[in-house]
Amino acid sequence: METIFSTADLRPVVAQWRRRGERIAFVPTMGNLHDGHLSLLQRANELADRTIVSIFVNPIQFGQGEDYAKYPSTLQSDQEKLARCGLDVLFAPNLRDLYPGGTEEDTRVTVPGLSTILCGEFRPGHFSGVATVVTKLFFSVQPDCALFGEKDLQQLKVIRRMVDDLCIPIEIIGRPIIREADGLAMSSRNGYLSAAERSLAPKIHQNLLAARAAILEGKQAFRSIENNAIASLREAGFKPEYFSIRRTADLEEANEADNDLSILVAAWLGKARLIDNVQVNADGD
Ligand code: PAF
């Protein structure tokens, strides 16, 4: 595995692969890698001849007062994990490489609608930051396909829409959430949890499963299922931002006539903002 620090150095490598007709898969990350990232990488290796992983902590997707400054920077241990995974290139650009004119007045990519609901309501500008950096990374890497985890379901939807709207010829592949044995979705931010918080954290997933069971039972109104979950999380010590039953297709609020549903949650536990989701087919699947 080669580590490349700039787009200028990456381009000739990718160009050579392209001349040979090799298929390139891309996994963008912010580092501090866990098994969720490694499962994306494993799938990328299966799908393509060449795999590139990027590590870049993108300042413009963090709001004021969020954890950009303390986001764990673990390049060396990430490199060690990646070296065992059979990828070709770790792309670790610096800020100047991706934001040559600085981050204040650069060009932004914004996906309307989807970016302002759910997490977008609580993190204004977040998804524009994500869409912008992913576009830049796509132009640097020029992959055939890119893989994203479904834990960030809204992010996945924003990127799919962006790629469709801008006619970017890259296949976007979503991959299932990887969970700890007790159900907690793996996340780089789980490291912010104290031991006591860590033992409470699976309640997020438990509440999602209870909501799914209630939907399938069909006796309770969706808004009452959501309110019960929010009350249950508050009682356990979380500060929920939302717990919401949505249509999977567009993440708009669902009602009892909809079948293909996603239940999404974001809640603070101590210093960690945890997000998670489950899918439900209200037809009874
Ligand atoms: O999901 C992430 O880690 C980030 O949002 C991404 C897609 C790498 C963009 O910075």
**243 phi and psi angles, rounded to 5 deg:** -140, 110
In a domain, 234, yes or no: yes
Domain identity same for 51 and 134: yes
| Alpha-helix runs per DSSP H in 111-249 | 119-122, 126-141, 153-165, 195-200, 203-217, 222-236
End residue of a domain, out of 121, 144, 175: 175
Sign, Cα dihedral of 151, 153, 154, 160? positive
In a domain, 31, yes or no: yes
pTM check: above 0.95: yes
How many domains is the chain partitioned into structurally? Answer: 2
Please give the average per-residue pLDDT across 257-270, as a whole number.
98
In a domain, 16, yes or no: yes
Domain identity same for 194 and 152: no
For a substitution probing ligand 1, which of 37, 40, 91, 152 has the most ligand atoms within 8 Å of its CB? 152
End residue of a domain, out of 146, 175, 204: 175
Q: Which residue range(s) make up the domain with 242?
A: 188-281
Instruction: Give the number of other CB atoms < 10 A from CB of residue 173.
Output: 16
Domain identity same for 57 and 129: yes
Domain identity same for 142 and 254: no
**pLDDT tens digit sequence for 63-106:** 999 999 999 999 999 999 999 999 999 999 999 999 999 999 99
pLDDT averaged over every residue in the chain: 97
In a domain, 169, yes or no: yes
In a domain, 115, yes or no: yes
Percentage of the residues of the chain whose pLDDT score is greater than 90: 98
Domain identity same for 135 and 48: yes
For a substitution probing ligand 1, which of 155, 162, 275 has the most ligand atoms within 8 Å of its CB? 155
CA of 129 to the centre of ligand 1 (A): 9
Domain identity same for 252 and 215: yes
Of ligand 1's listed atoms, the one at least distance from the Cα of 57 is: 10
Domain identity same for 167 and 192: no
CA of 282 to the centre of ligand 1 (A): 31
- pLDDT of 214: 98
**CB-defined site of ligand 1, < 6 Å:** 28-30, 58, 61, 130, 133-134, 152, 155
Please give the average per-residue pLDDT across 167-187, as a whole number.
98
Alpha-carbon distance of 267 to 79, in angstroms, equals: 31
In a domain, 182, yes or no: no
In a domain, 60, yes or no: yes
Domain identity same for 29 and 148: yes
In a domain, 87, yes or no: yes
Nearest to 206 by CA among 278, 266, 279: 278
CA of 218 to the centre of ligand 1 (A): 36
Sign, Cα dihedral of 3, 7, 13, 14? positive
CATH number at residue 144: 3.40.50.620
Of ligand 1's listed atoms, the one at least distance from the Cα of 134 is: 9
Residue 45's pLDDT band, with cuts at 50, 70 and 90, is very high
Residue nearest to atom 2 of ligand 1 (CA): 29
Buried b (16+ CB within 10 A) or exposed e, 2-41: eebeebeebeebbeebeeeeeebbbbbbbbbbbebbbbbb
Residue 39 contacts residue 85 (beta carbons within 8 Å): no
- Angstrom CA distances, 31 to 11, 16, 103, 154, 203, stand at 22, 26, 20, 20, 26
First to last CA, the chain: 42
CATH number at residue 196: 3.30.1300.10
DSSP 61: G
